[in-house]
Amino acid sequence: MMKLKAMYSFLNADLNKIERELEASIQADDPLLNQASLHLLQAGGKRIRPVFVLLGGQFGTYDFECIKHVAVALEFIHMASLVHDDVIDNAKLRRGKETIQSKWGNRFAMYVGDYIFARSLELMANIKNPLAHQILADTIVEVCRGEIEQISDKYRFDQNLRRYLQRIKRKTALLIAASCQLGAVVAGAPESIHRKLYWFGYYVGMSFQITDDILDFIGTEKELGKPAGSDLSQGNVTLPVLYAMEEEALRQSIMQVNEATTASEMKELIERIKQTDAIEKSYELGERYLQKALSILQSLPRNRAWNALYNIAKYIGKRKY
């Protein structure tokens, strides 16, 4: 399978510049803050949000010097949310590296996250188009509400598919949708185009999160950077769990999961879930979202960004980690 980076190689020079911008933009007047920020940046990541911003920008008048602010801002917003998520989850490792909260404590992590979020808004202030700010602000608020919803839904096994979909929309799809749309908005693309890019990103994001939730069951600890089934052990009811609960006996066992469930009990439960058709059905739903994304793409003008978006969508549906 084609490597993700090869799908948008024409953006390589700009993505390298984005990487340098990320490093330069995060510099602070405090050595420890700099150390922590660099620690975060070096942990890497796919930088998928900046990629979507730059690709969205190709549907309008692409001006790197303008669009870079949005690309960097979105990556910073993502990074800030990860730092705070690690406090929420009390996570010790992320992408195999020690988390900020583990290394320097909760309070420090809160300050780093707040600093990075503020930096992202400072960068966004370079964008004069009010619509760009409205889109991003609405997205941020919805993402936060989604995270609160995720906490309120923990260990709630009576939730339905609709509730799950609403949650992953807010958790993942909205920021990817906004990334695609914002690139186009800032590049001055017409509404008919940037709205479609929003929906493309939305469907890709939904598919991406469903795949993520499947991988949490079928991935290895090495691939995932955390034990398989972590979502369920933390009380997060994901799509494979909802489908597995359609089997009555399994439903009863799943409903017993709580904070005291041991690792070996969980391991056994995960195996039982994997033996049902829950994974397959989850893949099918993920695929349906992917098809919706590809269908939207058909109505967008063909250019090299179009090809890249097509390949990325395909990749996301088939990724293994």
Residues that bind another protein (CB under 8 A): 28-30, 32-33, 81, 84, 87-88, 90, 105-108, 110-112, 114-115, 117-119, 121-122, 124-125, 128, 130, 133-134, 136-138, 140-141, 143-145, 147-149, 151-152
In this complex, which beta carbon is closest to another protein, that of residue 125 or of residue 263? 125
Q: How far is the CB of 27 from another protein (least distance, A)?
A: 11
Q: How far is the CB of 131 from another protein (least distance, A)?
A: 9
In this complex, which beta carbon is closest to another protein, that of residue 29 or of residue 65? 29
Residue 227 Ramachandran class (φ > 0 left, ψ -120 to 50 alpha, else beta): beta
Q: How far is the CB of 107 from another protein (least distance, A)?
A: 5
Residue 173 near residue 205, CB atoms below 8 Å: yes
In this complex, which beta carbon is closest to another protein, that of residue 109 or of residue 232? 109
Distance CA 276, CA 271 (A): 9
Q: How far is the CB of 70 from another protein (least distance, A)?
A: 14
**Which residue is it, tokens 């889109």?**
135
Q: Where are the alpha helices (DSSP H) in the chain?
A: 12-25, 31-42, 48-57, 64-89, 100-104, 106-124, 130-152, 161-168, 174-186, 191-218, 221-224, 230-233, 239-244, 248-254, 263-274, 278-298, 304-318
Distance CA 318, CA 267 (A): 25
Q: How far is the CB of 160 from another protein (least distance, A)?
A: 18
In this complex, which beta carbon is closest to another protein, that of residue 129 or of residue 291? 129
Of residues 184, 167, 133, the one with CA closest to residue 309: 184
In this complex, which beta carbon is closest to another protein, that of residue 138 or of residue 268? 138
